[in-house]
Chains A and B, each alone.
Chain A
Amino acid sequence: EDQVTQSPEALRLQEGESSSLNCSYTVSGLRGLFWYRQDPGKGPEFLFTLYSAGEEKEKERLKATLTKKESFLHITAPKPEDSATYLCAVQAPKNAGGTSYGKLTFGQGTILTVHP
């Protein structure tokens, strides 16, 4: 069974204080690892997809990295508008029948609060 664990559950930062969020996973073959941002009352907003160990992707103050067992979301010099819940999810490969249904298994999320 695929499992995703995110830590910490909550993180409070001062504006400009860089930090990292962790996503540890176990999956029977990784097809992709996804990062989302979710604001209260809204649907998850796509950030990144990572496919293989060593891969990195960046968007503004965010940088996602991937190893064989975990992914990190690095936040550099965060601003209050970066406050949100950050979700990590893994996607398993196609099933034996060949119909790729792309199920995502999500972690519980990390609630990030950035104070001015």
Chain B
Amino acid sequence: DAGITQSPRHKVTETGTPVTLRCHQTENHRYMYWYRQDPGHGLRLIHYSYGVKDTDKGEVSDGYSVSRSKTEDFLLTLESATSSQTSVYFCAISAWRGTQETQYFGPGTRLLVL
């Protein structure tokens, strides 16, 4: 457990509505990631951050933006939600535990875009 929380945990919204998902961590990790998980596609990287105000695109970044104004918070924004963005969104942090590096995942946010 790396002290990762996500909010909201569930959200239903309408097409065209802006949506912001929040990821909060308590252990001061530098690297944070947003993934989406869909049947048939597995987990795919949307955006990542390597420090405050330092972010970059992943493989499925179209329609998404991110911001990181504090180490502990990484926000994912859908500027104008579409039905194709219905998914489960996971936040992750990168951490070393002894000699092992890994990414720890949050509990996820289920988003339904109607």
Contact residues of B: prevailing secondary structure: strand
Query: Of A32, A42, A49, A107, which is within 8 A of B42 by CB?
Result: A107
List, in ascending order, chain B residues with CB within 8 A of A99's CB.
Answer: 50
List, in ascending order, chain B residues with CB within 8 A of A78's CB.
Answer: none
Minimal Cβ-Cβ distance residue in B for A44: B105
Q: Nearest Cβ in chain B — how far from A47, in angstroms?
A: 9
A46 engages B108 (CB within 8 Å): no
B45 engages A32 (CB within 8 Å): no
B45 engages A103 (CB within 8 Å): yes
List, in ascending order, chain A residues with CB within 8 A of B43's CB.
Answer: 44, 87, 89, 104, 106
Q: B66-74, B75-83, B94-102: which one contacts chain A?
A: B94-102
Query: Of A43, A49, A108, which is within 8 A of B101 by CB?
Result: A49
Pick the most buried of A46, A89, A107: most chain B CB atoms within 10 A of its CB. Answer: A46
List, in ascending order, chain A residues with CB within 8 A of B103's CB.
Answer: 34, 46, 102, 104
Q: Chain A: residues with CB nearer than 8 A to chain B?
A: 32, 34, 36, 41-46, 48-49, 87, 89, 99-104, 106-109
Q: Chain B: residues with CB nearer than 8 A to chain A?
A: 31, 33, 40-45, 48, 50, 56, 58-59, 90, 94, 100-108
The 6 closest A-B pairs by CB, nearest first: A43-B105, A106-B43, A106-B42, A49-B100, A44-B105, A46-B102
